[in-house]
Structure 1
Amino acid sequence: MTERIASSARTGRILLVSHYYPPHVGGIENVVRQEAEQLACRGAVVTVLTTGGRRAAADLEAGVRVLRCAAWNGIERRTGVPFPVPSPRLLLDAVREARRAEVIHLHDCLYPTSWAAWAASVLTRTPLVLTQHVGLVAHPSALVRGAQRAVYEVFGRALLHRARRVLVLNDTVRTFTRSHGARSYAVRQLANGVDTVLFHPAGSAAEVRRVREHYGLPVDRVLVLFVGRLVPKKGYDLLRAAADPAYELVFVGTGPSGDGAGADDGSDAAGVHHLGALTPDQLAEVYRACDVFALPSTAEGFPLTVQEAMAAGLPVVTTDDPGYTPYALDRAGVSLLPRDAHRLRAELVALAADAPRRRRMGRYSRAYAERSFGWPEHVRALLGHYAAAGAVRPGRASTATGTG
């Protein structure tokens, strides 16, 4: 293995593994795409192993080779749980790609794509790095909760123990990984990055009006934005329950919902707007057109959508999750609340009536994002973790194109 790593380090061959990848909508998907494209920009040869389509196909997307294995997505369509069931060919693809790579970096250990990558790592003795985004999700279904526990006890323990680096977003996930077999010295905190150029505050009132008119949103109302899957974990039902005449709700995302409303069924109530799934460019526009971002989710720590909203200069209202503790957020700058519709409504009503406070919180959001969430810094740290795992030499991938 030493000779293979030494020779391949000249190009930096990295295999990223994710259950889904854009255009499928989701936070993990966006993180993996950004990591893949940023690594490719620094001279690494990057392959993403994921699912999608009806048959295996590999395409070059923004300098990244994306290999999509055929999979059945009925679980997500019927329950909202993003759990693709891939073709048995996935294991063969994983082993073949692992032989070409000097490091395998997989995202979350809950999915069959990750299990295949773990098996490929064992068979080929390729170093394994794991990003664990969340711990157990408090899903309303006892069946789903039980399935999670079973998977983490079997596959999760095997993956977490084998990984030479386990990257987490916060102390909550750190504790979860340690309790499921991760070695203490292997666990490191690494915040997701965000594109602070794409996601930026609106430049003028005219821009806000133009974007609102384009998406059919009212131009003279306070708009509260939600971005994510329309499922209880994300707090979609709580925000709907917190609706109030003081503001209107804008939902970006797709998926089944608890009360039968959704992005695709045309059943918007008065003061509620569903925009469905949007491209990153469209999403950045909608962030700039809204006044407040609200995400009453559970067990997420620091979700990517909160980072994007902060980069766009929006005041943020989200759940008071222990996962935010390491980030030392100023509670005057970010509103952290219990998952309670009455508390959520009261806070949103207060913000709707207080434009100066919204502006102060928005300035805090943008400054924090610029200071803390740059993708170049994230990828430099990632390359360091690959090096610690015994794969890419520090700075090797960046020498091809500069430091970026």
Structure 2
Amino acid sequence: MTERRTKGARDGRILLVSHYYPPHVGGIENVVRQEAEQLACRGSVVTVLTTGGRRSTAELEAGVRVLRRAAWNGIERRTGVPFPVPSPGLLREAVREARRAEVIHLHDCLYPTSWAAWAACVLTRTPLVLTQHVGLVAHPSAVVRGVQRAVYGVFGRLLLRRARRVLVLNDTVRAFTRDHGARPHAVRQLANGVDTVLFHPPASAAEVRQVRERYGLPVDRVLVLFVGRLVPKKGYDLLRAAADPAYELVFVGTGAGERTAGAAGVHHLGALAPEQVAEVYRACDVFALPSTAEGFPLTVQEAMAAGLPVVTTDDPGYAPYALDRAGVSLLPRDAARLRDELVALAADAPRRERMGRYARAYAERSFGWAEHVRALLGHYAVAGAGHPDGARGSGQAGAGAAAGTG
């Protein structure tokens, strides 16, 4: 009873839990940061529990209290799989923060940070909301695939059964969560938001030239941009195999693929801050991401907001979003098909312009952070009320609006 009275006196306290947080580069990290900062702007008291470098830190960033537990990141360095191993004390800190929170919102079942959040939720009886970003990833390593199945089979089921709300990006992940124990009435679709002010089309040809010169990119060539980790899951290798004299490739991100830096017609810019990434979007002509098992990746949403024509994998996760295939090119994961499409786009500036206009209009209509956070607050309210099957009000309506679907 004391615990519940304490929580009731602390309205609007939210604990977000993520395996990584910026400046670490990744889609989930960017989503969590935007959610945290947008929630803080709306008056919530937000704490993010995550991992960092060799020592634990606590900082106030843009109105958000960020707690980074020291972690070993050797798995990511050696395999490209982002899987930090936190230092001892994570569970203790998670329990302490859970006692202060009205709602715990964690991102993905796969990581030790999420397991600690689940245990803290059980010990403190704090309502749990879970965003599941992906299902099983078809990683080329059999060991990694096996570990995924084992983790989702044990921790995934515990988390998904406990969550009062499970938020997914598409029907593929919805099916995955149900297969792993999520209650069907608890699962809702909610698209990620995008900062359509930060990510916007270039104002002029002069701006494009200036940005290209700033980053050492050719000013007179068609540039195809890739943003993400340089690993097979993201399709880095496929895009490299699709290289052609008709265009040059620009890569933003880090990973094993950096070893090919310096090849003719290939430009590696490494990890960049969000503001710099937004500039590079504006400097390029086409965005390409032949990734697998991602649904609707955040970088595709950013590229659309920047007014770039998009070439990406024909993933079933796009189905609920009713994309016009004349406006977004959805292809099989095949280097030859990818090359043919990019060569055609490089030679057809009017088509690139049409696709870019469609992409920007779709992003403005469907991916605003205001709608996302409004829906999120509705889901938090439902989770706090403790009856997920009774949610027919603002949370459900907001999710449909943010996702662009019912």
Say whether the fold is shared (TM-score over 0.5). Answer: yes
**Residue 177 of structure 2 aligns to a residue in which SS?**
helix
The higher-RCO structure (CA 8 Å, 6+ apart) is 1
Partner of residue 200, structure 1: 200
Partner of residue 317, structure 1: 311
Q: Counterparts of 2:33 and 2:385 in 1: how far apart (Å)?
A: 21
Long gaps (5+) in structure 2: 387-392, 395-406
The amino acid of 1:232's aligned partner reads P
Matches within 5 A, 1:5-404: 5-9=7-11, 12-257=12-257, 262=258, 265=259, 267-390=261-384
The amino acid of 2:348's aligned partner reads D
Once the 2 structures are TM-superposed, how far is the Cα of residue 266 of structure 1 from its aligned partner?
Answer: 7.2
Runs (4+) of structure 1 exceeding 2 A deviation are: 1-6
Once the 2 structures are TM-superposed, how far is the Cα of residue 53 of structure 1 from its aligned partner?
Answer: 2.2
Q: Is the 8 A contact 1:233 1:297 kept in 2?
A: yes
Q: Counterparts of 1:378 and 1:110 in 2: how far apart (Å)?
A: 23
Q: Counterparts of 1:81 and 1:98 in 2: how far apart (Å)?
A: 28
Q: Counterparts of 2:260 and 2:146 in 1: how far apart (Å)?
A: 34
State the superposition RMSD in angstroms. 1.4
For normalisation by structure 2, the TM-score amounts to: 0.94
Q: Is the 8 A contact 2:234 2:291 kept in 1?
A: yes
Q: Counterparts of 1:391 and 1:83 in 2: how far apart (Å)?
A: 33
Q: Counterparts of 1:267 and 1:282 in 2: how far apart (Å)?
A: 20
Q: Counterparts of 1:256 and 1:217 in 2: how far apart (Å)?
A: 22
Once the 2 structures are TM-superposed, how far is the Cα of residue 5 of structure 1 from its aligned partner?
Answer: 4.0
**Residue 8 of structure 1 aligns to a residue in which SS?**
coil
Q: Counterparts of 2:213 and 2:372 in 1: how far apart (Å)?
A: 36
The amino acid of 1:228's aligned partner reads G
Once the 2 structures are TM-superposed, how far is the Cα of residue 267 of structure 1 from its aligned partner?
Answer: 3.1
The amino acid of 1:329's aligned partner reads L
For normalisation by structure 1, the TM-score amounts to: 0.94
Q: Deviations over 1:38-95 (max 9, x none)?
A: 0000000000000002222110000000000010000001110000000121000000
Q: Counterparts of 1:337 and 1:193 in 2: how far apart (Å)?
A: 24
Q: Counterparts of 1:391 and 1:96 in 2: how far apart (Å)?
A: 22
Long gaps (5+) in structure 1: 396-404
Q: Counterparts of 2:95 and 2:380 in 1: how far apart (Å)?
A: 19
Once the 2 structures are TM-superposed, how far is the Cα of residue 7 of structure 1 from its aligned partner?
Answer: 1.6
The amino acid of 1:77's aligned partner reads R
Q: Counterparts of 1:207 and 1:239 in 2: how far apart (Å)?
A: 27
Q: Is the 8 A contact 2:53 2:72 kept in 1?
A: no
How has the CA–CA distance of structure 1 residues 185 and 217 changed in structure 2, closer, same or farther, with 3 Å as cutoff? Answer: same
Q: Counterparts of 1:298 and 1:126 in 2: how far apart (Å)?
A: 35
Q: Is the 8 A contact 1:103 1:391 kept in 2?
A: no
Q: Counterparts of 2:41 and 2:213 in 1: how far apart (Å)?
A: 36
